[in-house]
Structures are given as C-alpha cells and as structure tokens.
Amino acid sequence: MYTGFIEKIFEYAVSGRIEAGEKLYRDFIEIPFVVKNETNFLLIEFTYEGEGCRLMIGLIDSTNSLRGWCSRGDKKYTVFISRNSASLGYIPGDIVEGMWRVFVRLDNVPKYGCIYTLKVVGYNTELSNMDFDNLGKVVSNLAKILDLQKFLKEYPEFFLVHVFPYPCREHLESREKNTQERSSSRWYRGDLHIHTVHSDGRFTVCEVIDLARSKGLDFIALTDHNTIAQNIEFTKIGRSRDILVIPGMEITTFYGHVNVFGINRYIDFRRRSKEDFEKLIEEIKNERGLASINHPVVSREPICRDCDFKYRDIENFDTVEVWNGLWHLFNNEALSWWHNLLAKGYRVTAIGGSDYHGVYVVADIGEPTTWVYAENLTVEDILKNIKKGRVYITYKPDTPIIDVKIFDKKGNVYTIGDDVENTDKNVDLIIQVEKAKGAILRIVTDKAIHRIANITENNFIYRERIDIEDTKFIRIEIGNYSNPYELIPQNSDDILAITNPIYIKTP
Ligand SMILES: [Zn+2]
Ligand SMILES: [Zn+2]
C-alpha cells in the first residue's frame, strides 16, 4: 500500500557553457554528481539553450554501468530512475551511492556555444520499490493521492515523463504458437530493425509486437538507439507466445550505426575508431550475438547525418543491412558494396530491416522482411543461421516466396547459404518463385548477371544446367528493373527480393 512517503536526500544543480570547437564537436562531455546514501530515486532535469544547439544525454552510475540514453534531441530532458522503474530509454536498478555522471553527446554546438543546466534531486521514497504494475497504477491515480500534491507542484514534469511499461499486457495474451510451428526446420520470417518509444520510435514494445503479429511475422528484433530498455521491458512483460523477440540495440555513433542482436546487456555505444568497432564486433561474437552494419552507405541521399558507416574497411563483421526500409538509392550502394565484398571472397550475410519508427520513416514493419531458414524459432537458431547465410529478403512479409536449389551428380542438394563442393563442372539449378508474376528474375554470379528471365506465372519454375567452374557464388534477385542489365541498379527500382548466395567451394 502506497502511503506517499517521500524524503529529499540531496539536491545538486550546475550550469555551464559548451564552446564550439573542433575538439568538442562529435564528442561527449561528462558532468559528475554525487548520489548520497539512502537515495533510491533520482530525478534528473537537463535543459540547454543556444540557437542551433542539439545535445543528447545519457547516464552512468557509480558502478560505471550505462543506465540509459535520450535520443530525441529535445531542449529539455526529464529523467527518473529507480530500482523497479525508469523513464523511457532508462534501465531500472539499484541507485548505488557514489559518483554518477550525466554524459552529454554534442550533436551540434554552433559558434556561440550552448548553455546547459543540470539539476539532480535524490529521494528516498517507497515509489522506488514499486513494481511495474503498481507504479503504473500510482501514476494513473496520482491526482487522487493528496500526499503527493506538494511534490507535484514542485516537479510538474515528473509525471509527464513516460513510464514504462505501457498498459498493454492483455494484447500479449494471444494464441500460443504450437510446438510444431516453433520447432520445425523451415523458413521463418521477421523484421530485424524496429524502434520503440524507448528511443525515437512512436509505438510501445507491446504495440510493435502486435503490429508484427498482424503482419504474420515469426520474429522481430527491438533495436532502439543506444539503449536496452526495450529488452528489459519485454522481459518484464514478456508473454508474447507467438512471436520471437530478439533482444537488440542500435549502436548509434557519429561514425555509423551497428545493430547488435541476441545480447541483453548494455553495451557502451561511445565508439569512435576503427579499432573500437573491431573490438565491439569481437565482443559480440564472443557472447554468441551478432553485429550487423546498418545502412552502410547513405552518401547519395543525405537524409540522415552520420548514418553511413565510416569504417567499411573493417573485416571481422558477419552481416550487413543491405536493405533498409523501402528500396532507396542508398540500398543500391549498399548492394554494390556487399556484392563486391562477396566477389573478393568475403562471406558476409545480407539482411534487411524496416528501421520502423512509426512516424517519419515511411516503411512499415516487415518492409522488408528477412527470411531465415532455421531448425527452431529460437534466438540461438535464428542468429546461427543468419550468420551461416541462410537468408533471403523480400519487400513484403508474404511475397515473393523463393526456393533455390542446386543438385549435383552425386545427389547432393544445396540451398541458400550452403557451400557447393565444386567437383562437378555442371550442376542443376532450380529456382521456384511464387507470387511475383510479371517481375524479372536475375541470376547473379561474382562476375556478372548470368541470366535474366521473365517470371511468367504465379508459380514459376526456372531450371538450368549451369557451369560453376570459376564461379564463387550464385545469388538470385527479383525486381521490376528499369534496366535489368545493370549489375547494380542505378534507380530506385522496385526490388522485390534478394537472396544470399549459394557459395561454390573451389577445391
Ligand atoms: Zn540507423
Ligand atoms: Zn534504426
């Protein structure tokens, strides 16, 4: 029973000026403050002013752990954090006394500089001990609790900040996927790049799960910018029985964006150098996660500052988001980069992601959809098979459907992501395409477009005895090309599907 007990333990305020300068731009500064004993609830308010200023804040606790991030570029941030709940984007947990730090990302510091004010108030209150459910009730019934009136008067923003989780548990009480559906070897489809309210997305964790379910997806990854609060929220409410939710995070830096899949701990996103990113990818691999370079080339369409990946010469990554959202010109460039990597002999899996924000980014959930052939619908199996390359990408969740197989003389059958033992000079290639009548099928090898065929039927089958001598890989594309003879399209063509290669092993 909540009694309204709130005791102020400490209050700290500081102002400062951030000067413009080469050194500070694209950098971080830290503002330390001391959290006193018996504090179990922190309220942080950060404001700044200055024309053209754009700052974002994050929090590091006294144990040196990252505790959250605001990525909306607001002029004022109000954040609270306690043991069992926190503002959106922040990680609930113990408020350990000692030196904490607010760190500020200097997105834009113009000539005249930016002036900031940080105010931190520490409380001892039983609000801190409330679990998700009860805190939600307190928030919704707040006005009725007279004991809190004084507090509210002092901090009217307190209850305007978003508190998670949102009340949508009942949506998750859904049909349970039966064991057979989850544990058969088949193509599972999903969206590997989704934002929620924990960063700059519009919809809650529950809402995006509902949307993904309505599209018929089997899995999604929640990849908010520089936070794992969405994964924490999902584990607290986690009753989604018919969709696999892969913990994710979009490491968002001044040097590009990297999606991390399958790891549910906070990873320091303040990466700057090539070595930083190589180390990051090694860390992720060691923990059996997967790191993917997002929208690697955004050069021709400057729609997103610092979104292209600056260290494209790193060599240890496994996957790249070749297809981001609806097919843009920059996806052509990503396709070109990936194709050249494959041609050089690298084995890098192409994946897709809608980068769903629900507001200003137009692609819907599942546009595109990434299909993964896996033994079971589990995080481990999905990631393992992505790494292996058993992946194709389509522009919508339900179309087109592709099956590619190679048969050799010994009776071996190979499919997307497999390595064909190159003992036969000629093998039989059979491609089956459903739901793409009228589009063009392209068979692409490391050297050229090997074949172009018109898809004349809804259930289309293409067969060819193909010479694979001196070929490193065969991959398939389907699209409505303005010029199907261009290896890399130069326009925003309707690309309908791209498969990863079947690799040809040279003896
Ligand atoms: Zn991004
Ligand atoms: Zn994103």
Distance 87 CA to ligand 2 centre (A): 20
For residue 376, being part of any structural domain is answered with: yes
Let me know: does 397 contact 496? Beta carbons within 8 Å.
no
Q: Are 456 and 413 contained in the same domain?
A: yes
For residue 326, being part of any structural domain is answered with: yes
Distance 118 CA to ligand 2 centre (A): 29
Q: Which one-letter amino acid corresponds to residue 496?
A: L
Let me know: does 90 contact 79? Beta carbons within 8 Å.
yes
pLDDT band with cut points at 50, 70 and 90 for residue 341: very high
What's the CATH code of the domain at 97? 2.60.120.380
Distance 353 CA to ligand 2 centre (A): 9
Summarize pLDDT for 37-66 with one digit per residue, the tens.
Answer: 999 989 899 999 999 899 999 999 999 999
Distance 193 CA to ligand 2 centre (A): 6
What count of Cα atoms within 13 Å lies in the side-chain half-sphere of residue 51?
2
Distance 337 CA to ligand 2 centre (A): 20
Q: Are 193 and 297 contained in the same domain?
A: yes
Distance 22 CA to ligand 2 centre (A): 27
Q: Are 255 and 337 contained in the same domain?
A: yes
For the ranges 118-132, 352-366, 455-469, the lowest mean pLDDT is seen at 118-132
What's the CATH code of the domain at 431? 2.60.40
Q: Are 411 and 369 contained in the same domain?
A: no
Distance 429 CA to ligand 2 centre (A): 37
Summarize pLDDT for 270-305 with one digit per residue, the tens.
Answer: 998 999 999 999 999 999 999 999 999 886 555 677
- The neighbourhood of ligand 1, an ion, using CB within 5 A, equals 257, 294
For residue 363, being part of any structural domain is answered with: yes
Q: What is the rounded CA–CA span in Å between residue 334 and residue 357? A: 21
Q: Which two structure tokens, joined as six digits, stand for 310?
A: 């600056």
- Report the predicted TM-score, pTM, of the whole model to 2 decimal places: 0.91
Q: Are 409 and 503 contained in the same domain?
A: yes
Quote the number of domains for the chain. 3
Q: Are 122 and 207 contained in the same domain?
A: no
Residue 143 has pLDDT above 50, yes or no: no
Distance 253 CA to ligand 2 centre (A): 12
Q: Could you tell me what percent of the chain has a pLDDT over 70?
A: 85
Distance 164 CA to ligand 2 centre (A): 21
Q: Which residue range forms the structural domain that includes residue 411?
A: 399-507
Summarize pLDDT for 103-136 with one digit per residue, the tens.
Answer: 999 988 888 899 999 999 998 887 776 665 555 5
Distance 80 CA to ligand 2 centre (A): 25
Distance 292 CA to ligand 1 centre (A): 11
Q: Are 36 and 127 contained in the same domain?
A: yes
Q: What is the rounded CA–CA span in Å between residue 122 and residue 3? A: 19
Q: Which two structure tokens, joined as six digits, stand for 17?
A: 């000026």
Among all bound ligands, the one having the nearest atom to the CA of 363 is: 2
Q: Are 381 and 404 contained in the same domain?
A: no
For residue 184, being part of any structural domain is answered with: yes
Q: Are 406 and 386 contained in the same domain?
A: no
Of 349, 287, 358, nearest to 319 (Cα)?
349
Q: Could you tell me what percent of the chain has a pLDDT over 90?
A: 63
Summarize pLDDT for 156-200 with one digit per residue, the tens.
Answer: 444 434 444 444 544 445 556 666 778 889 999 999 999 998 998
For residue 1, being part of any structural domain is answered with: no
